[in-house]
Amino acid sequence: MEPSLNRHSRLPVPGDFVSGADPLLRLVGHSESVIRLHDRIQAVSQRNSTVLLRGESGVGKELVAQQIHCASRRAGGPFVAVDCSTLRDTLFESQLFGHVKGAFTGAQYPTLGFWRAANGGTLFLDEIGELAPPMQAKLLRCLQDRAVIPVGGVDPIPVDVRVITATHRNLEEMVRRGEFREDLYFRIKVVRLDVPPLRERMSDVPELARYFLARLSALYHEPIKTLDDSALAALMSYDWPGNVRELANAIEYAHVLSPGHTLTAADLPEEIRAAGAKRQFPGPDQIIPLDAAERALILRALTATHGNQARAAQLLQIERRRLYRKVHQYGLESFTVRRVAPHGRTA
């Protein structure tokens, strides 16, 4: 007789692979790409369709998967995250589908496996492009049947799981090269969401940096540290090849090593300081169009003043009315803060 498959089941699963969704973690930012992604997360969360998340390493694909889970009817169930690159061919079936007692040498007790551990919730398969072809075939069968057969078992066990997969690789190209099963690819990409790299949402960098500082403050029970203009300028000058993960690490680096309450550019990792210094003296091949340079300068002023247009105009040494026109021209309204003046007027 199969054991109960509720979230409190005692049957063990490999704990290193299992995590719960943290409702306090959130997708930070107000850029157009993040707002669009938020909207799609809300739409996707209302259905049980299989989702494929695509994006570079460090962009936050697991966080997006957690957001989908937490916004869905499955939020009360488990969220099980599995890094497919760590699954071993010889133990794949046991790790994913579990095994019965005595199924093989050393199987002294039954295990649930990741799939049944996620029953009633969400199974997140990260780096699915790393699965070898034999493992792809077994995964496809499970997705089709919505049931698993533990190693050593006989009868299929129905499992109610919502599957979200993620990859940083080009699965379409892998299909063309015969490295990834086409039928599995179409099975997992019912809904496809692209998570943008940080360099395409640079306007979110200041908010992300402050968010990470606030979390570090809560973690260490310390007052929240702030970023001065030089630190913000350096952060905005860097391309972030490691994406949000690299930004989080850079902020933690500065937070740990700086004794002061205000972080400066000098507190940041060397590669970020170097990028900022290099941008101050662009060569002929680095010159950008005037409109792009003006937009970047206005955005930098708004960032430094937390969206206060009056203060930003002072920094730029232009009239406030002119700044308002430029903000509208470049579509920067979302980075401004409207003040409420006396008698209910906005200023």
H or E segment at 192? strand 191-194
Distance CA 276, CA 232 (A): 10
Neighbours of 42 (CB within 10 A): 13
Residue 334's pLDDT band (boundaries 50, 70, 90)? confident
Asked if residues 75 and 69 have their Cβ atoms less than 8 Å apart, the reply is yes
Q: What is the pLDDT of residue 219?
A: 93
Q: What is the pLDDT of residue 346?
A: 43
- The percent of residues above 70 in pLDDT, for the chain, comes to 85
Q: What is the pLDDT of residue 9?
A: 36
Q: Which residue has the higher pLDDT, 202 or 340?
A: 202
Q: Which CATH class is domain 198-284?
A: mainly alpha
Q: What is the mean pLDDT of residues 11-27?
A: 52
Query: Alpha-carbon torsion 81, 83, 86, 88, what sign?
Result: positive
Residue found by looking up tokens 């993040």 in the block = 34
Q: Is the pTM of this model over 0.95?
A: no
Q: Is the pLDDT of residue 3 over 70?
A: no
**What does the longest C-alpha to C-alpha distance in the chain come to?**
79
Q: Is the pLDDT of residue 312 over 90?
A: no
Q: What is the pLDDT of residue 286?
A: 53
Q: Which residue has the higher pLDDT, 281 or 78?
A: 78
Residues with Cβ within 8 Å of 256's Cβ and at least 6 positions away in sequence, in order, are none
Provide φ and ψ at 99, rounded to 5°.
-150, 160
Say if 15-196 and 288-347 have the same CATH topology: no
Distance CA 126, CA 325 (A): 45
CATH number of 288-347: 1.10.10
Q: Is residue 166 classed as helix, strand or coil in its secondary structure?
A: strand
Q: What is the pLDDT of residues 163-222, one digit of tens each?
A: 999 999 999 999 999 999 999 999 999 999 999 999 999 989 999 999 999 999 999 999
Residue 278's pLDDT band (boundaries 50, 70, 90)? low
Degrees, nearest 5: CA angle 113-116-119: 150
Cα–Cα distances (Å) from 286 to 6, 202, 243, 278, 311, in that order, read 58, 18, 22, 10, 29
Q: Is residue 200 classed as helix, strand or coil in its secondary structure?
A: helix
Q: Which CATH superfamily is domain 15-196 in?
A: P-loop containing nucleotide triphosphate hydrolases (3.40.50.300)
Q: What is the pLDDT of residues 66-122, one digit of tens each?
A: 999 999 999 999 999 999 998 887 788 888 888 777 667 776 787 888 999 999 999
Q: What is the pLDDT of residues 241-255, one digit of tens each?
A: 999 999 999 999 999
Q: What is the pLDDT of residues 33-54, one digit of tens each?
A: 999 999 999 999 999 999 999 9
Average pLDDT for the chain: 84
Where helices occur in the chain by DSSP H, the ranges are 32-45, 61-70, 92-97, 113-117, 133-145, 171-176, 182-188, 205-220, 229-237, 243-257, 270-279, 290-304, 309-316, 320-329
State the amino acid at position 285 in one-letter form: D
Domain range summary for the chain, segments of one domain joined by +: 15-196, 198-284, 288-347
Q: What is the mean pLDDT of residues 132-161?
A: 89
Residue found by looking up tokens 């002023």 in the block = 301
